[in-house]
Amino acid sequence: MKLRTVIEEFDIESKIDYSQSYVSLGSCFSAEIGNMMKERKFDTLVNPFGTVYNPSSICELIRLSLRGEMPASDTYLQKDDAQVNFKFHSDIKGLTKEELEHSIQASLTNVGERLKSSNWLFLTFGTAFVYKRIKNNDIVANCHKRPSKEFDRVLLPVQEIVGEVSEAIAMIRAENPDLKVLFTVSPVRHVRDTLEKNSLSKSILRVAVEQLISTHSKCFYFPSYEIMMDDLRDYRFYKEDMIHPTKQAVKYIWDAFLNALASKTIMSQISEVEKINAGLSHRPFNPNTESHRKFLKKLLAKIETFNVEGLDFTDEIKQIEIALEEI
C-alpha cells in the first residue's frame, strides 16, 4: 500500500563539485541550501543582499552588481536607529547613510565579481507579488515596516518575470558564458498573501521558471517546492509556525538535491568533509589530555591527506595547530 506521493528520483545533467564556485540568491530557502553547501566547504556566496523574495528585485540587484551602479538616493530611509534601503533586506543596514552605502557598494562589487567567475547561480523565488512605492511606482525588495498606504501590491505577470530574468542571465553570460543556473521555487508559503493568493503566486513562478529553462541553455529546475508540498505534506515536517520546513525536512530536500546534482565520487567527498566537521566541532570534557592530543593529531593527518581540488582547510589546520600548542 502506498502511503506517500514521493517525488521520483531525477538527474540533473550538470554536476556540482569542489572545483567549482557558486552564488545563491533569493528567498530564505536559498540561504538554507546555500549554507548547507558552505558548511560542506563548497565555495558558495550565500544571499549577500539578505533575503530577497521576488524575482524582479533579485534581477535588479544583479543588474546593479554587473553595472557597478548604486541604488538611487531616494531608496535610503531611517528605520529605528539604523539606515536601511528599500532594495535590500533589513539585515543590510548601517548606523549612518555613509556606512550603509559603503556596505552596499562592497556587497554589489563582490557579487558582480563572483557572477563573472562562478560556475553556478542558484536562484530561489519566493513570491510573484511585489510592493511598489506609490510615489514613484518603484518596486521594493523590502517595505521595512513602512505604512501600507505607501505601497501598492502587484502580482507580476509571467512574461515580465521571464523577461527580467532572461535579461539578467544574458548580462551575466556576456561576461561568463559558461554559467549554469539552477532555479527553485521556495517551499515556504506566503500566508500573509492568503493561501489562495499564495497558490496563484507560486503557480506564476513555476510557469515562469518552466519557460526560462525551456528557452535558455544550461538552466535547470530543482523541485524543492514539490518535494515539500507533495512528498513532505505532513505537519511534522513544519516548524511551529506551520510554514517553514523543519531541519529534518531541509535535510530531506538537501539529500534529494545531492542525489540530483552530485556524482557518487562527490557524495563520498562530502561524507568525508562531514566527518572532518564533526571532529572539528568535538568539545572534549578535558582538552588538556594525551587522548585529546592524539585525537587532534589524527584529525590533522586526515585533513592533510585529504587532497581534493577546490577544498581549502587552511583555517581548520590553523585551528588544530593552535589547539595542539595549548595542550
What is the percentage of the chain residues whose pLDDT exceeds 70? 100
Residue range 76-89: mean pLDDT, rounded: 96
pLDDT at 298: 95
**Start-end of H helices in 78-121:** 97-117
Pairing assessment for the beta strands 180-185 and 219-221 based on DSSP bridges: parallel
What percent of the chain lies above the pLDDT cut of 90?
Answer: 90
Question: Across residues 263-272, what is the average pLDDT?
Answer: 97
For position 7, what pLDDT does the model report? 85
pLDDT at 8: 84
- Please report which confidence band the pLDDT of residue 4 belongs to, taking 50, 70 and 90 as the band edges: confident
Work out whether strand 138-140 and strand 129-133 pair parallel, antiparallel, or are unpaired: antiparallel
pLDDT tens digits, 146-166: 999 999 999 999 999 999 999
Mean pLDDT across the chain: 95
| Crossing angle between the packed helical segments 264-281 and 290-304, to the nearest 10 degrees | 150
How far apart, in whole angstroms, are the C-alpha atoms of residue 69 and residue 105? Answer: 8
Q: What is the mean pLDDT of residues 90-101?
A: 97
Q: pLDDT class for 143, splitting at 50, 70, 90? A: very high
Within 10 Å of residue 190's Cβ, how many Cβ atoms? Answer: 19
Rounded distance between C-alpha atoms, residue 121 and residue 184, angstroms = 11
For strands 21-26 and 219-221, give the pairing.
Answer: unpaired
CA distance 269 to 124: 26
Contacts of 213 (CB under 8 A, 6+ apart): 183, 219, 220, 221
C-alpha 304/C-alpha 9 separation (Å) is 36
pLDDT given for residue 193 in this prediction? 87
At residue 43, the pLDDT reads 97
Q: What is the pLDDT of residue 64?
A: 98
Task: Please name which of 140, 244, 235, 125 lies closest in space to residue 189, comparing C-alpha atoms.
Answer: 244
**Separation of alpha carbons 293 and 297, rounded Å:** 6
Greatest Cα-to-Cα distance within the chain, rounded to the nearest angstrom: 69
Domains of the chain: 21-262 (3.40.50.1110), 264-327 (no CATH)
Give CA–CA dist 24/201, Å, rounded: 21
161 or 283, greater pLDDT: 161
| Model pTM above 0.85 | yes
Contacts of 96 (CB under 8 A, 6+ apart): 83
- Whether pLDDT at 217 is above 90: yes
Q: Is the dihedral of CA 287, 292, 298, 299 positive or negative?
A: negative
Helix, strand, or coil here: 183? Answer: strand
Residue given cell 549612518 in the structure block: 96
d(C-alpha 149, C-alpha 94), whole Å: 26
Q: Residue with C-alpha cell 530557502?
A: 29
Q: Find out whether 29 and 188 touch, Cβ atoms under 8 Å.
A: yes
Measured distance CA(300)–CA(293) in Å, rounded? 10
